[in-house]
Amino acid sequence: MKIIFNALIPVFLIIILGWGAIKYKFFEKEAKKVLSRYLIYFAFPALLFSCAEKLGLSNVSIKFVEVFFMTLLLMYIMSLLFNKFVFKIKGKNGAINAFCCSFPNTSFLGIPILAIVLGKSSMAPIIVGNIIISFTIIPLMIMICSFVDGDSSFLKQGVKNIWETIKSPMVFAPILGAVFAGLHLRVPIQIDGGIKMLGESTYACALFIIGLTMAEIKFKFNLNILTNVIFKLLVNPLIGLILGLLFGLHGFLFKVMLLLFAMPTAVTPTIYSHHYESYEDGAACSLFWSTFLSPITIGIIIFIIIHFNF
């Protein structure tokens, strides 16, 4: 129990500070945009590059990639169909609703928690997991939304998104770091020190931004939101557990994967909901309630991976 509290209390304390900074007007709402840009273009890429360059990605097995990919895709398709037939949520609303159920917060919340629970060696599979997400459910969601909009070039939109993803700092930086590791290249110590300092600011900044985001969300709870939360916090890690056991994934990588899928809904679905002007309240409330309730399920998963051998 001690390790669970040690992992969760500091993390959610920073989230609460971010929430309070907006609620009690220490920060203006525009602060979220500035901090997000700093995080996405500087701090996160520095952390991801540094970890990939020092750890490499070769210790992440193909089996991890396969199980992670299948879990993501199965969760997205299952959510899409369930919400279509049960709640009659279709089109762009359905695509983004399924996005909320299947997109774990592997970066802003996953990295700080896994660093505490499993150590910095968990960064390599987190990097690979983020890359898989960037090349699977994000392009899939964009293609569905483009198709519904009547855009005949919806396939082109998906390919364009993949190209934009490759160029984005949060994908390009770890790939570059992995190239450095593979070629046994080393960054000069003076530059490496600056990269390390930038990267270390990621943890607190990411959690603080979650708090800033949650402070802007209007409280709303209904059966659809409850279903989203159950899918994200319970069904998602359960699918990962079943597929991991079926395909023989075990050990450290299995633990990392389970904990990543136990993370609440990421901020990204809310951003895309505003972009497509679809399912905006639902995405925001799914983010809020899954994050608010996630200490319970994350605590259970931490207990499982500590006390059971996989």
What is 228-245 written as a DSSP string? HHHIIIIIHHHHHHHHHH
Per-residue burial over 207-233, b = 16 or more CB atoms within 10 Å of its CB, e = otherwise: bbbbbbbbbebeeeeeebbebbbebbb
Mean pLDDT of the residues in the chain = 88
pLDDT of 157 higher than 70: no
User: What does pTM read for this prediction?
Assistant: 0.85
Q: How many residues are present in the chain?
A: 310
Q: Which of 40, 105, 64 minimizes the C-alpha distance to 260?
A: 105
Window from 121-130, 153-162, 267-276 with minimum mean pLDDT = 153-162
In the numeric block, which tokens belong to residue 10? 């500091």
Other Cβ atoms less than 10 A from the Cβ of 189: the count is 7
In the numeric block, which tokens belong to residue 157? 């939109």
pLDDT for 184 equals 85
Window from 100-104, 113-117, 250-254 with minimum mean pLDDT = 113-117
pLDDT of 152 higher than 90: no
* Mean per-residue pLDDT, 2-19: 85
Local structure of 265: helix, strand or coil: strand
| Residue showing tokens 């082109």 | 156
Angstrom CA distances, 58 to 114, 218, 293, stand at 19, 44, 35
| Residue showing tokens 């996405």 | 40
43 secondary structure, DSSP code: I
pLDDT for 175 equals 86
pLDDT for 135 equals 82
- How far apart CA 179 and CA 49 sit, in angstroms, is 10
Domains and CATH numbers, the chain: 2-307 (1.20.1530.20)
60 secondary structure, DSSP code: S
Contact between 67 and 244 (Cβ < 8 Å): yes
